[in-house]
Amino acid sequence: SKVLLTGGSGFIAAHVLDILLEHGHTVITTVRSQEKADKIKDAHPKTPGSQLSFRIVPDIAVEGAFDEAVKIPGLDAVIHTASPFHFNVTDTKKDLLDPAIIGTTGVLKAIKKNAPSVKHVVITSSFAAIIDGKKGLRPGYKYSEKDWNPITEEEAPLNPGNGYRASKTFAEKAAWDFVEKEKPNFTLSTMNPPLVLGPIVHYLNGLDALNTSNQRVRDLLQGKWKEGIPETGAYLFIDVRDIALAHVKAIELPEAAGKRFFVTNGFFSNREIADIVAKNFPEYEKNLPGKEVKGGAYPEGGLYGFDDSKTMEILGIKYRGLEESIVDTVKSLKAVGA
């Protein structure tokens, strides 16, 4: 198929891009600058320009940002991953909500208007659009694709975490509303991963520009957990290569249409990450917390569960375990100087 991938320079998108190419798809990816396009192109010297090309979209928060980018003859599918994931927020609306929501509705409107050949759209949402933060750790409850984060517009600006979770929730809702009201020619699927761990692509993300979800691993390697391991916070994870494959399968499998996918490999704790690094990378020993250092364990009172049976049934991916994920993350961070 011919696929438009938005935000091709992102942590997850870089893996989606590689899997799309491996599966023989033709990829057109949007990036914010020619410099980023050149880096991706240089990293794929064997891929012909006819299979990998670029569109520059500097800011997805601008109305109509995708109107020209989607004008691609014979385009079959769109995978929209671009959305801000960081907590350096001065203005919740400008920094998080607008790019997430306008980016999502903008790409859908552009497809409806200018890319009538598109049959399937996949949007990267998040477990953040599922979990109800106000309910705390919620022992005994099982989250699934049926759940929606009930966060409100008033709660969004209260702190950066709320801002991010609201941005994902409102953007995903807007996408499903669009499909319901506009009845476009394409079907929609959303990906709802929890924390995504796994190797970074070295040519895009140096240590300074490290994506948010891997920052805890960098912090550990740099000695920031030596005196105390931080609370895990998010307790579910998926490897980046597995969530990337899930995006690609969602455009390949007709039964993925019209569904949300809760793609998770289950639980992890910061304590487990520290133990995996200690076991596999003795060269970091002087920076790592010793066995006596406290923190980062699972909560004593228990924790929510999850039901991902529908996702497993349709996508059928065998997920990588935490150890493989962390070992490969650390190798990739070492390669850029961690």
List interacting residues with ligand NDP (CB under 6 A). Answer: 7, 9-13, 32, 57, 59-61, 81-85, 99, 124, 126, 168, 193, 195-196, 211, 213
Position closest to ligand NDP via CB = 10
For residues 125 and 187, which CB has a smaller minimum distance to ligand NDP in the complex? 125
Q: How far is the CB of 12 from ligand NDP (least distance, A)?
A: 4
CB 78 within 8 A of CB 106: no
Tokens of 54: 């670029």
The values of phi and psi at residue 322, to 5°, are -60, -40
Nearer to ligand NDP by Cβ, of 243 and 256: the residue is 243
3-class secondary structure per residue, 272-296: HHHHHHHHHCHHHHHHCCCCCCCEC
Give the residue with the Cβ less far from ligand NDP, 245 or 282. 245
Q: How far apart are CB 194 and ligand NDP at their closest, in Å?
A: 6
* Nearest distance in Å: CB 212, ligand NDP: 6
Other beta carbons less than 10 A from residue 328's beta carbon? 18
What lies within 8 Å, CB to CB, of 207 at 6+ separation is 218, 333, 336, 337, 338
CA dihedral 2→180→63→173, nearest 10 degrees, is -100
Q: Are 326 and 217 in contact (CB under 8 A)?
A: yes
CB of 233 to ligand NDP, least distance (A): 12
Least separation, in Å, of the C-beta of 62 and ligand NDP? 8
User: Which is closer to ligand NDP, CB of 103 or CB of 289?
Assistant: 103
CB distance 199 to 240 below 8 Å? yes
- Minimum distance between the CB of residue 255 and ligand NDP, rounded to whole angstroms? 23
Contact 156, 163 (CB under 8 A): yes
3-state SS assignment for residue 128: helix
Nearer to ligand NDP, 59 or 285 (CB): 59
> Which is nearer to ligand NDP, 116 or 133 (by Cβ)?
133
What is the Cα Rg of the chain in Å? 20
Q: How far is the CB of 218 from ligand NDP (least distance, A)?
A: 14
Judged by beta carbon, residue 7 or residue 289, the one nearer ligand NDP is 7
Is 176 exposed, middle or buried, given 0-12, 13-18 or 19+ CB atoms closer than 10 A?
middle
CB of 236 to ligand NDP, least distance (A): 10
Where on the phi/psi map is residue 64: left (φ > 0), alpha (ψ -120 to 50), or beta?
A: left
144/211 with CB nearer ligand NDP: 211
